[in-house]
Structures are given as structure tokens and as C-alpha cells.
Amino acid sequence: MDDIISRDDEKGRELARQKGQIEEQNKERERVQATEKGRKQGLEEERAREKQKGGLGTGIKIIVSLVAIVIIIAVVALLTLSVSVMNVTPGSTLPFTSNYGVTFSEGQPITIGNSHISVLSYQNEVISDIDGDRQKLVVGEDRVIAERRAVITTLGAIPLIDTNFQINLKYKGNRDNQAYFDMAIHTSKQVPDMLLKKLLPPEINAQPI
């Protein structure tokens, strides 16, 4: 009888031990699965961050490239500005006016638009020659460059401005051995100063007034 009870106890302990081993194996398996799941999740998050960074980097590169292209086009457009001036029949409305102070070197031919100008001063008088037409001016007197048409283009063929213009010169006297004039440019369209100065040669050093 005692042997039977002893064998039953031993069998029970063996079953308990086996159950404990199974539970421990299950727990170990769960720990391994949890660790693997965490590792996979970490990898996925890292890939997502890298993808996001890559997307932002690509977007920034595209923006920088577009800005660079715009700047290059603007510079090329500025460098290729050209002006064509032609005679027209006077009489257009010229409601816009830009005023400059300009100086003419003695006897140096200057081209404004398609007009050729030279001046010679003596005391408070100046002999002005515009396209072969000579006139003597005293301080305060005006000289008019007849109405013309100007077409400003860029990149060889793209028109920016098509306007008629007329120039009035008022003699202001001699300054530092140069004839000084107030210049008023009347135009049929509003023309930005940067483009309007394309009509004027650098030798006269036009300064807005």
C-alpha cells in the first residue's frame, strides 16, 4: 500500500516538474518572440526615419536646383538685354517722365538712342550738336531730342518693353570742365529705371534727380 502511494507521489512530482519545464519553455519562447518583435519594430522605425530624411533631402535639393536655375536665367536675361531705337512720327502721348542729372565731356561724341550728340562750352554757353543740327544754349535753355521708338529685348528675341520716348535737355552750366544738363526722358509706357538706363551711355554718368 505504501509502495503504491509512494509511486503516485513520485508520478505527481514528475508531472509537476514536466509542467514547470513546459511553462518555463513557453515563457522563454515568449521572451524570444517579444525581443524579435521589438527588433523588427526598431528596424522598421529606423527605415521610416531614413526614408523621411531622404525625402526631405531630395526636396531641399530640388528647391535649391530650381532657385539656382532661376538665378542663372535672370543673370543671362540681364546680360543679354539689348535696345533697338528707330524713328517714328511724333505725336504720341508721353505721360511718364524720369529725370536725371547728366554730364557731357567737351567734344566727345555721345550716342543716346540713335542720336549722336556732342557739346562744346564757353563760359556759360554751350554749342550742342545733335545729329548735325547745331544750336547755342545759355544756362536754363532747353534742347529736345525728337521722339523715337525703343524696343528692349532679352535672350535675343524676347520683348520686354516697346515704348516711344522723347528727351529734353536743360543746360545747367559747366562743372569740372564738363557740360551739365538736367535730362527728362518722357515715355509712352512706364519703364523701370534699370531698363531706361539702357538708352543712356555710361559716359554721361546719369544720376536720378
41-78 pLDDT, tens per residue?
A: 878 877 777 776 655 567 788 888 889 888 887 787 77
Burial tier of 117 (Cβ tally within 10 Å: 0-12, 13-18, 19+): buried
Long-range contacts, 62-71 (Cβ 8 Å, 24+) = none
Q: According to the model, what pLDDT value does residue 107 have?
A: 85
Give CA–CA dist 194/83, Å, rounded: 12
Could you tell me the CA-to-CA distances from 123 to 85, 87, 136, 139 in Å, in that order? 34, 34, 12, 10
- Copy the grid coordinates of residue 40: 523588427
Q: According to the model, what pLDDT value does residue 56 have?
A: 57
Say which residue the cell 518722357 belongs to: 186
pTM: 0.64
Q: According to the model, what pLDDT value does residue 52 have?
A: 67
Below-50 pLDDT ranges, the chain: none
Q: According to the model, what pLDDT value does residue 37 have?
A: 81
Q: According to the model, what pLDDT value does residue 5 have?
A: 55
Strand partners, 118: 129
